Structure 1
Amino acid sequence: MPVSGKPLHGRVAVVTGAARGLGAALARTLAERGAKVALLGRDERTLDLVRDDLPGTSACWEVDVTDDRGMHRAGAEIRARLGPPSVVVANAGVAEGGPFAESDPGVWRRVVEVNLIGSAATARTFLPDLFATRGYFLQVASLASIGAAPMMSAYCASKAGVESFAHALRAEVAHRHVGVGIAYINWTDTDMVRDADEHAVLRELRAHMPPPARKVHPTAHVADRLVTAVERRRPSVYVPGWLRSTQLVRAAMPPVVTWLSRRELPRLAASEPFAATGLLGRGRAGQGGGEKAPPG
């Protein structure tokens, strides 16, 4: 995927979790920059609506990113219909919040499966195409990949996992001329974040973050930054940009978070007991349609 004035023109780009939220915004931005977009998600009706609103050539597939056979079939159909992908964005994700000791094992597992296993299944499906096209794989991660937070154990574990997965994959495929990038993003204006604010456990989590870290960013802005990173084959992209500085202090973050939690959690729980949120957003019945949920 050589760099040119229009590096995405005519290229095939795959976006998972494309039914809504950031995934839908990514699909639109990629299409506006000339890519043929394959939209993957769990909600066929909503995927159709997103596809019909895009310029240029696009198509959609209803598939669960954790279903290896389903992803294999979708990959074969994408190649036959659009051509081999040059860009793959692993965006599909879900979140839940609440005390780990009281969490539902099935919900907790589902978050890890979609966010981490789903990203690996996405890479496995499309890596042969990226080898052939010398393409680029973008893993959507989170501030939660850098610093974990209480009451978000599944989300934080899964996002730390996708960061490590992307680093390992980058080293493994570099000699095959495939680029691997990691997108570190903070609160983004999706249905998952709006749903999160209805739950005390996550509302308080955001309220206790430093003021710049509380800001919710428009999906179009985040998508624009991420697609620019795709065009430039960047190894990392941070939205907002100040997130990059957290890499310098990430070793110091766990003891600070523990100290604050030890002081604040008992007080907060006394006023409004924390409870499990279940899967967040309109994607709660499936894999979700767009990142990002609370970044932790």
Structure 2
Amino acid sequence: MRGSPGIRTHRPPREQLRGRVAVVTGGARGLGAALARSLSNAGVCLALLGRREESLRQVAASLAAPSICVESDVTDSAALAAAARRVEAELGPASVIVANAGVAVSGPFDQTPAELWQQVVDVNLTGAANTARAFLPQLMSTHGYFLQVASTAAFGSSPMMSAYCASKAGAESFALALRGEVRPSGVQVGIAYVHWAGTDMLSGIDDDPVLQALRRHQPGPARRVHAPDQVARWLTRGIVRRSPNIYAPPWLRWCQPLRPLFPALVASVARRELQATPSGTPFSSAAVLGASERGDSSSASGSSHSSDSC
């Protein structure tokens, strides 16, 4: 099935996606898999990219619209270029690209192996840029939409999550710069701010006392964990509208004007928690949050996950 240029038509909003081609990186699990199902239900032809074809095929089997699975690492620009060629050959040029692949590491910076810290940046930031570079020619031909999945971690950096917060803030900045460059070509760039999505990445996050304290000090609605399917519906609605910013949950939009306050608030909570920790108490060593596509979440060689959270 060939994708036709553009997204905007006179059809009802959700119907505007029917028959289009979308690419979702990190599509094997978590938010990526949920978003693939949501887009497929809207009639979108999906190309699922991820580290394990077997896992991708399990997701593809649940989709309503035609799909292909492409085993590809977002840190490998050559592999992504090959994936882009295959998508165009088998489905047609993509109208929607979702840079969703992500990985998170929790632990003190000085106890995080350099290669593990670098892996997070490579997947979350460089991987997003690699994805954009590979598929931008298709988006220009379709006047399409590129969605960068970011996080509220870009609002205020959390101790014990230095690599994740730095990479997500960088991904947001990259998307903002790209938006200005490609807008004259008819390509629009959106940023999704995701907060506490119930994916593998959240498993073990409460084991860290500082991260647990930060969540405990958030207002009640802000502590709520949202199911991946619900987050996917919010993202799908934003994709249909080609929104510059997508907030999951929607009330996050009201936090944007308050962003200058968040770093100081996070620092204050973290400082109190660290001061309350008995001297000499060791923090847990750095570890990848969530299940790894390589089946070894402790490996510094790591993997591309498909989940995002606060």
Same fold by TM-score greater than 0.5: yes
Is 2:8 the counterpart of 1:2? Answer: yes
Which residue in the other structure is 1:234 paired with? 243
Q: Give the aligned partner of residue 33 of structure 1.
A: 42
Alignment partner, residue 174 of structure 1: 183
5 Å-filtered alignment, 1:8-87, equals 8-87=17-96
Residue 138 of structure 1 aligns to a residue in which SS?
strand
Q: Give the letter for the 1:136 counterpart.
A: Y
What is the TM-score normalised by the length of structure 2?
A: 0.90
Find runs of 4+ consecutive structure 1 residues off by over 6 angstroms: none
Give the secondary-structure state (helix, strand or coil) at the position aligned to 1:149: coil
Q: 2:304 aligns with which of 288, 291, 294?
A: 288
* Structure 2 spans left out of the alignment, 5+ residues: 1-6
Aligned length in residues: 294
TM (norm. structure 1) is: 0.94
In the TM superposition, residue 239 of structure 1 has moved relative to its aligned partner by: 1.0
In structure 2, the CA distance between the partners of 1:110 and 1:274, relative to structure 1 (3 Å rule), is same
Shift, 1:260, TM fit: 2.4
**For 1:123-202, what aligned pairs fall within 5 Å after superposition?**
123-202=132-211
Shift, 1:269, TM fit:
5.6
Residue 252 (structure 1) aligns with: 261
Q: For structure 1, which segment, 21-30 or 247-256, has the greater mean C-alpha deviation from structure 2 after superposition?
A: 247-256
SS for the counterpart of 1:61 is strand
Q: Is the 8 A contact 2:121 2:163 kept in 1?
A: yes
Which residue identity lines up with residue 105 of structure 2 in the other structure?
E
Q: 1:221: how far off?
A: 0.6
Partner of 1:98: 107
Q: Distance in 2 between matches of 1:248 and 1:176?
A: 30
In the alignment, structure 1 segments of 5+ residues that lack a partner are: none
Amino-acid identity (%) = 50
**Separation in structure 1 between the aligned mates of residue 196 and residue 30 of structure 2, nearest angstrom:** 12
Name the counterpart of 2:229.
220
**SS of corresponding position for 1:249:** helix
Instruction: Give the 3 Å change call, closer, same or farther, for CA 56–260 of structure 1 in structure 2.
Output: closer
SS at match of 1:197: helix
Q: Deviations 1:232-276 (Å, cap 9, x if unpaired)?
A: 111001111221122111112222222222222121365963223
- The answer for the alignment partner of 2:4 in structure 1 is none
Closer, same or farther in 2 for the Cα pair 1:251/1:106, shift >3 Å? Answer: same
